[in-house]
Amino acid sequence: MPTSHAIPGLPPLEPRAPESQERLARLERKFPGRIAAVREACACAPDPDLALAGIERYVDGAGALPAEPDLLEALALLCGGSRLVAALLARDPRLLRRAARSPHLLRPRTEADLRRVLSRTARRLDPGDVDGFHRLLRRVRAREVVRIALRDLRRARVKEITGELSALACACVDAAIRFHDRRLRARHGAPSGLAGREFGAGFCAVAMGKLGARELNFSSDIDLIYVYGQDGQTDGPKPLTHFAYYAKLAEHVTEAIAKPTEDGFVFRVDLNLRPDGRSGPIVNSIPAAEYYYQAFGRSWERNALVKARPGAGDLAVGDELLRHLEPFVWRRSLDLDVVAEIQAMKARIDARAGAEGKDDLKLGRGGIREVEFFVSALQLLHGGRDEGRPLRERAVLPALERLLFAGVVPAKDRDELADAYLFLRRAEHRVQMVDGAQTQRLPPPGERTGLARAMGYASEQAFEAVLSDHRERVARHFAGLLGTGAGTAPLDPELALLADADVPADRRAAIATRRGLADPDRAIAAIDSMARRRTPFSQLGDPAAAVSLLADALGTPDPDQALSHLADFAAALRNPDPYFKMLAEHRRIARLLLSLFGTSDFLSKRFLRHPELIDLLLREDQVVLEKPLDELRAGVRERLATVDRSLPLDDLLEHELGELRRFKDEEVLRIAIHDIAGTVDLPSVASQLSDLAESCLEACLALAEDEARAKGVLPPGRLCVIGMGKLGGRELGYHSDLDLIFLYPGGAEPGFERYARLAQRFMSFLQMPLREGRLYQIDTRLRPSGNQGALVIGAEGFVRYHTGEALPGGAARDGAAGAVRSQLWERQALLRARFVAGDRALFDDVSARAIVPAVYGRREDPAALAAEIRRMRERMESELSREASHGKNPKTGRGGLVDVEFAAQFLQLAHGHDHPSIRTPSTPVALRALRAAGLLREAEHEALARGYEFLRHVELRLRIVHDFTIDHLPASGPPLHQLARRLGYYGAEPGTRFLAEYARVTAAVRQAFDDVVR
């Protein structure tokens, strides 16, 4: 736990208010030996006078100052930023230690965790103890607000703070739904058809606005729409219609959350977004809500529903409603009336901004609402068509990212709007945190020093200068919205000069440097090479299209690489003119192509070897985000069916293997483009790459068998191909090796050599370099006896090797090497064994007779097992990670992926004998199963699961760049900057912010590893 809570880089400031001296004197009389520490802590707070007042209030409640220096610092930081928090601490001083020492101070607390806490505590209450339930919600809210406020002041990410506040709100609403549904069922019976369902079934609170987008502020209302599934009647002694029952439930839930008590309220609740607003019923059935929107819904309601999500209660009911409303929200075609309505909404925001002036962070000119409307208006205009589905994102910043990749918003605009939005939202937090007031207005001029310091600025003037710059940029973008036609960006004058070969080179170089290009000469050379071809950069080209392509390139992680590959693309085409015209007409394609060029060097080079692959980006099936294994198998069969079967055998095989490689390249390109665009998550990338490999393995084995059959050397049985490592866990990354083991039926039969030849031919088909490259690199070192053992092993030998059954004398022809029981590292490897091709029945037999007994067949001594695993881990870290000489290693380094994998494997080996539910080859699935089985505590699960996701993301981004493995992080300079941008860190100093998060994540992983493996 860190010992300092001070805001980094903030100069000390002495209390200046007249009453502060009196407070210091009173505190000195009570605590003469601590007054210097109090002064120092207050001087580092956002508002020293506010901090001093809060500390005195705390002392009145607690009777003493915190003894530990870090708690005193935390107290000064909280009180110096918020009277609201100071009041909460004075009321319950224990909240200070709970917040400052919370395991969730450095990482967000999940909504699921909050729901579990509330559910467990609420179950202990008598169903009639409504007051007790109200106290529970308000005390949990007070505890969480203090902790979240401390995280916010300590510079946690805005996304994490708003997400935690939103999670708190949804968890509290969910608890209220379940508590009051239990009470109502006791009196009126369960709604029809729900008697056996959990409390809350059939009823959903749909989260709207900032809650729906998970962007809640400290003092936000929570916007809710209550909805129930179907009409009917309850089955109790005092039955009610479903409408009456759920109306009572909605009223009770609203009161539980919003009613002021001596403990305050949880959140203010706003129900005005429901159908018919204040005039409508408090709750609606799904059919009634659907009818209202389809018959009477207006554009502002469509705009509001962009952010809607099921928030609490029966989420399936909310999902059903939103599915029914999709045609209303996302229209496939927009008529002029709808566009006029959106323009009218914009005009209203303009008028309000003029009236509010510049002191309102939300409604004033260049404020938060303008950013939000800028995004949602473009979503409504472009999100209705099939190709616009990725734009249907609730939160502002991810939606901006989707608009960027759809070619609707230029990269420079995205960067400016995103940076401004984050700044304005952080300032809004600071303003609301002071008194807990629902306001977005800045303090009067001259009274903003505390706000400035809370934002990390030494003076009011420095803060206002940055604020003014952000607001001017937002206002400029908002003013241009809908003014130049859908998707058309105004010409950037600097980029027009950079694209013009007639502009002096030194002036172009200065522009290139200013706009973020690391190697101006290389960039200008790329532009000029395109100017010599029929492209938008030529003298007869379209300057607007050229500027758009430059803007797209500048928005990528490596703009220099993006421009260089764009020039290579132009050079690879016989006539680039139609292709560049297509890019100008299809902004989504241009954005995806430049993102690929600026993110992955190896995928770009693969693409450039076959520039005809650009047609893939236009194909409808390449828009598909995820393809299941069966669809990939069907795709392989379709591609192989196109090969002329009348060709001689060797030519036929070459053509088939070429088609397989082209299919794989296209699918990897599809997956990578969606990965780069952020439209698929890490588990989807890994599972799709694994399924793609599996479909290719099946096809290559079938081709090898066809060849053997044609040549009369087909063995009598089928090989069984077992996937190990990341293939076994369905966790493959880009250009991962495939770890394989080959088994054949029986033991030392005469046909052994045929199985060996078949396996060798199969591997040759996978690794053979053709024009299209290799399919996969194969690693068979995890087979019994490693490189010393036979390439293929009989099933009986495999069983004997791993279970230790005696062999009658030394090595055997079936690949076993004597009476050997598998070692620990081999058992760890077998945890990830999975059938991938060939004879599934043979795998099932071997799994039952060898793999399961070897891995889970006995109860382990946890202490001895932990000692051995720690010894192996320490050896890997010291011998393989090379962090001291080469830099941070996300895989084998301290707190790296191996820590996560070994922690999960330790628990699987230690407990798998008694807990079949944890037997899985997948690390993330294992972590979830271990938590569900009660074998992994929540804190350790969160650290390991978050660490796995973060480190795998880092590993994927390291390996998507080149066609060779990079194991270590760059320490500084452009490579670190580019990696950070690939990982989604934009704005100032992305590399520094990434390294700081890397340090936090790996420290948490190592701590969790130490806590688990002992």
DSSP string covering 45-89? SSSHHHHHHHHHHHHHHHSS--SSHHHHHHHHHHHTT-HHHHHHH
Q: Tell the CATH topology of 111-329.
A: Beta Polymerase; domain 2 (3.30.460)
For residue 995, pLDDT over 70 is answered with yes
Q: How many CA atoms lie within 13 A of 223 on its CB side?
A: 22
Burial class (CB in 10 A: 0-12, 13-18, 19+), 853: middle
Please state the rounded mean pLDDT for residues 397-404. 90
336-480 has the same fold as 111-329: no
Please state the rounded mean pLDDT for residues 809-819. 43
Predicted confidence (pLDDT) per residue in 520-562, tens digit: 999 999 999 998 888 888 876 777 788 889 999 998 889 999 9
For residue 349, pLDDT over 70 is answered with no
Q: Which residue has the tokens 């001296």?
A: 21
**609 in Cβ contact with 574 (< 8 Å):** no
Residue 988 pLDDT = 74
d(CA 549, CA 565): 12
Please state the rounded mean pLDDT for residues 885-897. 90
Please state the rounded mean pLDDT for residues 835-852. 95
- Mean per-residue pLDDT over the chain, rounded: 88
d(CA 777, CA 769): 10
For residue 820, pLDDT over 50 is answered with no
Residue 808 pLDDT = 40
Helix (H, G, I), strand (E, B) or coil at 512: helix
* Opening angle at CA 447, ends 144 and 445, nearest 5: 120
The Cα-based distances of 348 to 344, 408, 983 in angstroms read 6, 23, 38
* Distance in Å from the first CA to the final CA of the chain: 21
**813 in Cβ contact with 791 (< 8 Å):** no
Q: Which residue has the tokens 């029981």?
A: 821
The Cα-based distances of 972 to 140, 318, 626, 686, 887 in angstroms read 43, 47, 35, 28, 10
- φ and ψ of 672, to 5 deg: -65, -40
**933 in Cβ contact with 918 (< 8 Å):** yes
pLDDT cut 90: percent of the chain above it: 55
612 or 701, which is more confident? 701
For residue 265, pLDDT over 90 is answered with yes
Please state the rounded mean pLDDT for residues 886-902. 92
Q: 0.75 exceeded by the pTM? A: no
For residue 110, pLDDT over 60 is answered with yes
The CATH classification of domain 862-1012, taken from the options 1.20.120.330, 3.40.640.10, 1.10.10.410, 1.10.510.10 = 1.20.120.330
DSSP string covering 464-505? HHHHHHHHHHHHHHHHHTTTS-TTPPPP-HHHHHHH-TTS-H
Q: Which residues contact 576 (CB under 8 A, 6 or more apart)?
A: 533, 534, 535, 569, 570
Q: Select from 703, 623, 610, 708 the least CA-distant residue to 663.
A: 610
For residue 324, pLDDT over 90 is answered with yes
Predicted confidence (pLDDT) per residue in 472-503, tens digit: 999 888 888 765 333 344 467 788 888 887 77
- For 768-847, where are the alpha helices, taking DSSP H only? 795-803, 824-830, 840-846
DSSP secondary-structure letter at 225? Answer: E
**134 in Cβ contact with 263 (< 8 Å):** yes
d(CA 695, CA 689): 10
Dump strand ranges (E) for 797-917.
834-838
For residue 11, what are its two tokens?
């100069």
Residue 519 pLDDT = 94
Tell which phi-psi region holds residue 725, choosing left (phi > 0), alpha (psi between -120 and 50) or beta: left
Q: Output the CA torsion sign for 151, 153, 154, 157.
A: positive
Domain 629-856 has CATH 3.30.460.10: yes
Q: Given the DSSP bridges, would you call strands 203-208 and 309-313 parallel, antiparallel or unpaired?
A: antiparallel
For residue 976, what are its two tokens?
């670190």
Residue 151 pLDDT = 92
Predicted confidence (pLDDT) per residue in 856-875, tens digit: 988 888 999 999 999 999 99
Chain length of the chain: 1014
For residue 872, what are its two tokens?
């192996």
Task: Report domain 336-480's class.
Answer: mainly alpha
d(CA 415, CA 720): 52
d(CA 1007, CA 850): 34
DSSP secondary-structure letter at 611? Answer: G
Residue 947 pLDDT = 95
Here the contacts of 602-605 (C-beta below 8 Å, separation 24 or greater) are 602/734, 602/735, 602/960, 602/961, 602/962, 602/963, 602/964, 603/668, 603/669, 603/672, 603/734, 603/960, 604/561, 604/565, 605/565, 605/963
DSSP string covering 642-663? TS-TTS-HHHHHHHHHHHHHHH
Helix axes 411-435, 368-382, angle to 10 degrees: 130
Helix (H, G, I), strand (E, B) or coil at 969: coil
Q: Select from 550, 540, 536, 565 the least CA-distant residue to 498.
A: 550
Residue 565 pLDDT = 95
Predicted confidence (pLDDT) per residue in 2-49, tens digit: 445 666 667 888 888 889 999 999 998 999 889 999 999 999 888 999
In the chain, the largest separation of any two C-alpha atoms, in whole Å, equals 101
For residue 385, pLDDT over 80 is answered with no
CA Rg value for the chain? 32
d(CA 773, CA 866): 43
d(CA 57, CA 42): 14
Q: Select from 523, 525, 608 the least CA-distant residue to 558.
A: 523
**311 in Cβ contact with 212 (< 8 Å):** yes
Q: Which residue has the tokens 């070969």?
A: 501
**46 in Cβ contact with 492 (< 8 Å):** no
885 or 347, which is more confident? 885
Residue 429 pLDDT = 84
DSSP string covering 416-455? HHHHHHHHHHHHHHHHHHHH--S--BPPPTT--HHHHHHT
For residue 962, pLDDT over 60 is answered with yes
Residue 819 pLDDT = 38
- φ and ψ of 642, to 5 deg: -80, -10
d(CA 909, CA 918): 10
Residue 587 pLDDT = 83
* Opening angle at CA 682, ends 151 and 639, nearest 5: 165
Sketch the domain layout of the chain as residue ranges. Answer: 18-100, 111-329, 336-480, 501-618, 629-856, 862-1012
Residue 354 pLDDT = 56
Write out 375-392 in H/E/C secondary structure. HHHHHHHHCCCHHHHHHC
